[in-house]
Amino acid sequence: MKKIMLTPILICLPLLCCCDRHLDQYPHNGISSELICEEDAQLLLTGAYNIAQYKPTFNGWALFDLIGGDIIRTGASGMNTPELLVTMGITPNQSIVASPWNGFYAGLYQINVFIEKIGQLPQSQKKDEMLAAGHFFRGLYYYNITARWRNIPIVTSTIDTDVPQTPEEEAWIFVAEEFKEAIRLGSDFQDKNHVSYQAAKALLARTYLAMGMMKEAAQVAEEVIADVNFTLSDFNSIFRGGYNREEIFSFANLVQESSVNMSSYYYTKQSPVGGAYNFCPTQEAMDMYGPDDSRKSVSVDYQGVLDERRLELFGEGFRWFDLVRTGRYEKTVSVDSRYTVLPIPARELTLNKRLKQHPLWDAASDNKN
């Protein structure tokens, strides 16, 4: 079995050499209202990667692991079991809910600007590749938003008006179309830190899973697995920054770039990166790795479908949604059904009068009253 990785929680900025002389003159998120030139477009592309890296915040990329039952708070925290982390942390007023919502939508505004501006360029292969990156990141944003909040506002322009919610089924269709456009316009795989049509295919397969389209998901996934660019690699080379042919796309988490340093939340203070050790795996998660587990040398094994994904993709942002979409979350983490969807942040309901709270959370509020 080949295992191809697509890791949306690690980060890299692909700085383009032809733009280096401009980087200190004006920010890559400063956008003129006039027609842009190719050098401006290069800067905007750098900005698109940067936005996708930081806007969703740590909670945006790590939330599925945090509330999926595999990771808990450390120390004397009152959230030191999966059930407590979920029931105390997931409320309409908590930052663990609000910061990803704000980050995803702030990032989407910038991505929409990026797509609009790149669309002004004369037709060329480079323009298509830039647009592919824009649709890839817009699809990635909306994949994460739809998975969390289900019925969500879809914004594809820079309008500044309240937008009503789109039903979940239509939202998933939109996500799939974004990845299809990235596939159509994208270039062949270059390296794991640049968007390629293969990376868009991998995310399209994941989207089909969310839509329950198992046959389509399998077909697209098999196309990526069979791609000559990829093969299995040593476990250490993947997770220790070495060269490998298993990763399709990942952001490189560079400590010097910002405060969104994923590793620092998991490593101890004694580690080389000086981590804060805010979170640690549950004992149940650690017990799944037996002494003879082949993942110690090669990242492949068979142990049953959902457990296999849990072991293969531990810490990569899958666990909560895997449990939710397979109907196992409530029993696994011992919480009620409202936690199978995130509540829309209370502030957003105040700001956008066209939004409505998810029925599961409305019901929970009624019960409290």
Q: What is the CATH number of the domain that holds 280?
A: 1.25.40.390
Note whether residue 259 is domain-resident: yes
CA dist 80 and 84 (Å) reads 7
CA dist 352 and 271 (Å) reads 44
CA dist 293 and 287 (Å) reads 11
147-161, 193-207, 214-228: segment of lowest average pLDDT? 147-161
Note whether residue 2 is domain-resident: no
How far, CA to CA in Å, does 114 sit from each of 32, 33, 136?
A: 11, 12, 12
- Give the up-direction half-sphere exposure of residue 279: CA atoms within 13 A in the CB hemisphere: 20
- Quote the pLDDT of residue 12: 30
* 176: nearest Cα among 319, 49, 184, 222: 184
38-42, 80-84, 335-339: segment of lowest average pLDDT? 80-84
CA dist 39 and 211 (Å) reads 39
Say if residues 235 and 172 touch (Cβ distance below 8 Å): no
Note whether residue 178 is domain-resident: yes
CA dist 221 and 201 (Å) reads 7
**pLDDT, average across residues 303-330:** 72
In terms of DSSP bridges, do strands 152-153 and 165-166 run parallel, antiparallel, or are they unpaired? antiparallel
Note whether residue 369 is domain-resident: no
- Higher per-residue confidence, 70 vs 334: 334
Asked if residue 22 has pLDDT above 90, the reply is: no
**pLDDT, average across residues 282-286:** 72
Domain that holds residue 232: 14-362
Note whether residue 4 is domain-resident: no
**pLDDT, average across residues 1-5:** 42
Total domains in the chain come to: 1
Asked if residue 258 has pLDDT above 60, the reply is: no
- Quote the pLDDT of residue 317: 73
pLDDT digits (tens, 9 = 90+) for 8-19: 333 232 322 333
Angle (CA) 89 93 99, round 5°: 80
Say if residues 108 and 157 touch (Cβ distance below 8 Å): no
Confidence of residue 6 (pLDDT cuts 50, 70, 90): very low
Mean pLDDT for all residues in the chain:
80
